[in-house]
Structure 1
Amino acid sequence: MIELLSPTEIARGAETGALVADILQAAKARASVGTNLLELDALARDMMLAAGAESCYVDYEPSFGEGPFGYYICTSVNDAVLHGKPHDYALHDGDLLTLDLAISLQGIVADAAISFFVGTPKQEGLDLIDATERALAAGIEAARPGGRIGDIASAIGTILQGAGYPVNLEFGGHGVGSTMHQDPHIPNWGKAGRGWKLRPGILLAIEPWAMLDTAELVTDADGWTLRSATGCLTAHTEHTVAITEDGPRILTSAH
């Protein structure tokens, strides 16, 4: 089922999205050499609870995870790209960190992710992050009423593949609304003109992610953290976007 939100609900979603963006930017500012991932999780917890929001992750227990996630934010480092479980790890100079956050506020969910370097960057990682950001922008531009999910997927995949990165189709974007994961699934590669038709009121989490030299994932012993099979660097960028009569509206932009 695809949920269609009213203008009032989308307005509430914009408030959720603003909080997601604020927490991600606060966590990015806190992340420096020596910062523990558990500190970032505590920061996310404190900010969302202070705002009256609820975590979409703490009790999340899907078929692809091992038990409830148990934390408030995903922290993926270097070769980890998705569902990185916070743990007792102090960030090193040159770590590529991805933060992924989904929360619910006033009954509407927003979901976003950012990737960045802690300390000294590596050019190959900067190029990878740039490709996911450009792919996200292209996917958002394609998210227009009357279009198709395939238009978004094609726009994303064209950028990622054009930059030379393999594309994994196991995990991608998704619908959001009153819950975190809804139809439609948005793969990061596909054919334009195919799939669900986009209508005003649909809320989408569009999330290009890529790995330098592989499309294969492996799962950590924690049952959650997904890493590149070759140990290469990874990056992940995401926004929650509302489909409106006037086109896509990004709800999770940093201010």
Structure 2
Amino acid sequence: MRPVWCGSSKTRAISLGLFALCLAAVRCLQSQGVSLYIPQSTINATVEEDILLSVDYTCHGVPTIEWKYTSNWGVQKIVEWKPGTPANISQSHKDRVCTFDNGSIQLFRVGMRDSGYYVITVTESLGSSQFGTIVLHVSEILYEDLHFVAVFLALLGAVAAVLISLMWVCNRCAYKFQRKRRHKLKGNALDNQFMVFFFFFFFVVLGFELKATPCPFLVMGFFEIGLMNYLPRLTPNHNPLISTS
């Protein structure tokens, strides 16, 4: 007959073996339970823009989430928190970071100094962890300067076009005015010549009518011609008998 203690010890050994196997399986599942998903590993932004460092994770229990910033100047801790509890934000990023329960953070008013690597670490209560990296490139706003230059050049071109048009109109008006003035001067010269010959003929006829010697009247006629030609020269820049073409 088999002793009773022998069967009970065998059952206890089997139970302990199953318990150890289950514990190892649980530990194995827990160690592989942290998964991290990063939809966009590289983000391009401009100065004064708000950007979202988006991630998502799955794990057992409530993990601890930590974000760090790595650049040429070293490593800097940004924020650390557990979902459902207040976040511990570093002094350098106060009022510039907003946390989300899925592990994502949002940075407000980024600058050139924010360019670099952002590392997230998700750690379970049992010690297993997973990390990921997001690269952020921040550039200056150049399109506003280009827009200002384009507007300035367009305005300058419009002003130049208006000035050229005004110069062309003034040139045409001056040309027409000079042409009209030349025709007027030619007409005045013809009128003066007509008056000169009229007075000359008048004095000659008067001399014959008075049956006097025509010499004094001829002298008076020539004097009148000289006077009519000389008087316009007293006016500056005005000679009706000689017109420039």
Q: Which has the higher contact order (CA 8 A, sep 6+)?
A: 1
> Which category of TM-score, normalised to the shorter sequence, fits these structures?
under 0.3
Larger CA Rg, structure 1 vs 2 = 2
What TM-score does the superposition give when structure 1 sets the normalisation length?
Answer: 0.27
